[in-house]
């Protein structure tokens, strides 16, 4: 069990990770500052990436210690040697009058608010932007979210340029389109502000952030575009590339980003130190060829979700692209956010190949910890074999609502051992676990067998393999789920207003 005072005042240079294993909704409502959110149900899938070094101190947090204790067993099986549970969880933390905060990705969003105020990043209201475009003013609207978010809904006429690509691509775009005004938008505030600031720092004139992003657009009574496909990114010509490289080099110097040679990177990795290795390019570029050992996390999202990417703030963080522009810009933001040891692989994949080394190819595919053993040690059933058993859906409530076997019960795998008794108290009765693809279901079946259930199976392939009738909605769910946090258009107008007010007020937090 971990001591409250040590957690309240940790040393800035100590290697530790605070991981809150409650559901995202619980974390969003209240959490300990500096903790990363990773629900227990996702540990086998994401923990090794969130905490890439098994020797660091890991403190697991929940509400009362029960889920964190179960999570600690899993993390220890992964090979982590210094794992503790916060005694009494956040419930006891609060009774000791220690502070909490609310919201997701608070460090990044607070940073964005500070950047807007500190550097006087100009904004434009939705109605004014709409009027300017209707009047025929030449406006370049760049959407700094992911292409997937952009396709779902966007500002009419905008084009997708994810935040990590802006500095690399914008020079070419501006030369091609010669706009009177450049507007950066996201869904809310942070990525708009960060994007506009990077263009401001590049020296571009007439750059603004769309105030409150797509949320502000809809609150102003304006219609969003759906299904836009303006996602092709322009390749910078030699002039635009040279300008971007000069800018990135300046950022590295001004913000204290170290530029590693290939040999220096290999030495660092072999040293045994805790090192995060992150490729910030597009997913297609990553799949075409990346430095072995690097994970994919696009640069704009890395800045937006820094606490989802790096749980050990005192560790080394190394970014990579195909040169140094995108890696350098992302690294610059991390240094400004206070990460102490941030580097880039100078020359990126190009330098790696020039060194006579091979790139790995393909999308990142990491098998969840323990999945092979769970599959081999559990009984798999086909859709035709599911009849009469108690069916338990162990994915998220959103996935359950999208489609489940009629009569199935929803029970997040995070709570499985603690709540299965209310659904099936008899250890001898048959139980079938299911989810979207069968992976969490297999892990759940294994967990139930460990508890002593004698007739447990999982649906092979999950709901993707299911061929029978499908029921939708939260049927049988008696209490509002707290495993997901609404975002974007999932929020009502009142929720959007409250969220934007919270985000704006974070400038005081920063």
Mean pLDDT of 441-445: 98
120 and 60, same domain (yes or no): no
- Those residues whose C-beta lies under 8 Å from the C-beta of residue 314, and which sit 6 or more positions away, are 12, 13, 14, 15, 16, 274, 340, 341
- pLDDT, residue 19, reads 98
User: The domain containing residue 432 runs over which residues?
Assistant: 371-465
Categorize the per-residue pLDDT at 476 as very low, low, confident or very high, splitting at 50, 70 and 90.
confident
- Does the residue 496 lie in any domain? no
Over the stretch 376-395, which tens digit does the pLDDT of each residue have?
Answer: 999 999 999 999 999 999 99
Q: Assess whether 398 and 324 both reside in one domain.
A: no
Q: How confident is the model at residue 11 (pLDDT cuts 50, 70, 90)?
A: low
Same domain flag for 456 and 407: yes
Residue 106 has pLDDT above 60, yes or no: yes
What confidence score (pLDDT) does residue 510 get? 60
Convert the pLDDT of each residue in 314-359 to its tens digit: 999 999 999 999 999 999 999 999 999 999 999 999 999 999 999 9
Q: Is the pLDDT of residue 13 over 70?
A: no
Residue 424 in domain: yes
Same domain, 129 and 90: no
Q: Does any domain span residue 507?
A: no
Residue pair 327/301 in contact by the 8 Å Cβ criterion = no
Determine the Cα–Cα distance for residues 501 and 505; give it in Å rounded to an integer. 6
Q: Residues near 283 by Cβ (< 8 Å), separated by ≥ 6?
A: 296, 298, 363
Closest C-alpha among 505, 510, 500, 506 to residue 212 = 500
The whole-number average pLDDT for the span 277-303 is: 97
| Helix H or strand E encompassing 201 | helix 190-202
222 and 115: one domain?
Answer: yes
CATH number at residue 343: 3.40.250.10
Last residue of a domain, one of 87, 103, 119: 103
What strands, in cross-sheet order, belong to the sheet with 36-37? 36-37, 16-20, 57-61, 83-85
How many CB atoms within 10 Å of residue 286?
26
- Output the pLDDT for position 480: 86
Token duo for residue 276: 């995060």
Number of compact structural domains in the chain: 4
Find the mean pLDDT for residues 164-169: 98
Section 269-274 average pLDDT: 96
Check whether residue 192 and residue 227 sit in a common domain: yes
Specify the DSSP element, H or E, that contains 442. helix 439-451
Do 249 and 287 meet the contact criterion of CB atoms below 8 Å apart?
A: no
> How far is the CA of 446 from the CAs of 379, 430, 452, 505, in angstroms?
9, 14, 10, 45
Closest C-alpha among 392, 369, 381 to residue 451: 392
User: End of a domain among 103, 124, 159?
Assistant: 103
């Amino acid at each position: 069990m971990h001591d409250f005072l040590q957690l309240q005042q940790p040393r800035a240079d100590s290697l530790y990770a605070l991981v809150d294993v409650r559901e995202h909704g619980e974390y969003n409502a209240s959490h300990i500052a500096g903790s990363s959110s990773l629900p227990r149900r996702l540990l086998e899938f994401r923990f090794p990436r969130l905490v890439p070094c098994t020797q660091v101190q890991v403190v697991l947090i929940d509400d009362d210690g029960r889920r964190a204790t179960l999570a600690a067993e899993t993390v220890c099986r992964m090979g982590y040697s210094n794992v503790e549970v916060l005694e009494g969880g956040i419930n006891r933390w609060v009774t000791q009058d220690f502070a909490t905060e609310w919201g997701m990705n608070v460090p990044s969003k607070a940073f964005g608010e500070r950047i807007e105020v500190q550097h006087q990043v100009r904004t434009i209201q939705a109605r004014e932007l709409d009027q300017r475009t209707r009047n025929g003013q030449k406006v370049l609207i760049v959407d700094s979210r992911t292409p997937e978010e952009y396709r779902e809904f966007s500002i009419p006429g905008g084009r997708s340029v994810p935040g990590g690509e802006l500095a690399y691509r914008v020079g070419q775009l501006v030369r091609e389109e010669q706009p009177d005004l450049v507007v950066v938008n996201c869904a809310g505030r942070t990525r708009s502000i960060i994007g506009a600031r990077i263009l401001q720092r590049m020296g571009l004139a007439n750059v603004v952030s769309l105030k409150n992003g797509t949320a502000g657009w809809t609150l102003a009574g304006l219609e969003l575009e759906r299904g836009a496909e303006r996602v092709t990114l322009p390749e910078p010509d030699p002039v635009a590339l040279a300008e971007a490289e000069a800018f990135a080099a300046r950022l590295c110097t001004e913000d204290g980003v170290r530029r590693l040679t290939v040999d220096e990177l290999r030495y660092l990795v072999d040293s045994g130190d805790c090192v995060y290795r992150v490729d910030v390019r597009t997913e297609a570029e990553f799949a075409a060829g990346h430095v072995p050992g690097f994970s994919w996390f696009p640069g704009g999202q890395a800045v937006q979700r820094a606490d989802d990417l790096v749980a050990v703030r005192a560790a080394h963080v190394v970014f990579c692209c195909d040169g140094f522009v995108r890696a350098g810009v992302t690294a610059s933001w991390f240094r400004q956010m206070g990460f102490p040891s941030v580097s880039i692989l100078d020359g990126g994949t190009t330098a790696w190949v020039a060194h006579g080394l091979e790139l790995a190819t393909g999308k990142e595919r990491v098998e969840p910890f323990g999945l092979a053993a769970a599959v081999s040690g559990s009984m798999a059933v086909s859709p035709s074999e599911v009849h009469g058993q108690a069916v338990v859906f162990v994915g998220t409530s959103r996935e359950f609502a999208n489609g489940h076997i009629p009569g199935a019960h929803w029970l997040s795998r995070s709570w499985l051992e603690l709540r299965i008794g209310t659904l099936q108290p008899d250890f001898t009765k048959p139980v079938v676990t299911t989810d979207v693809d069968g992976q969490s279901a297999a892990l759940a079946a294994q967990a139930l067998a460990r508890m002593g259930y004698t007739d447990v199976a999982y649906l092979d392939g999950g709901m993707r393999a299911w061929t029978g009738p499908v029921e939708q909605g939260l049927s049988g769910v008696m209490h509002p789920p707290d495993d997901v946090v609404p975002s974007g258009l999932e929020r009502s107008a009142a929720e959007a207003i409250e969220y934007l007010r919270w985000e704006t007020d974070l400038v005081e937090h920063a």
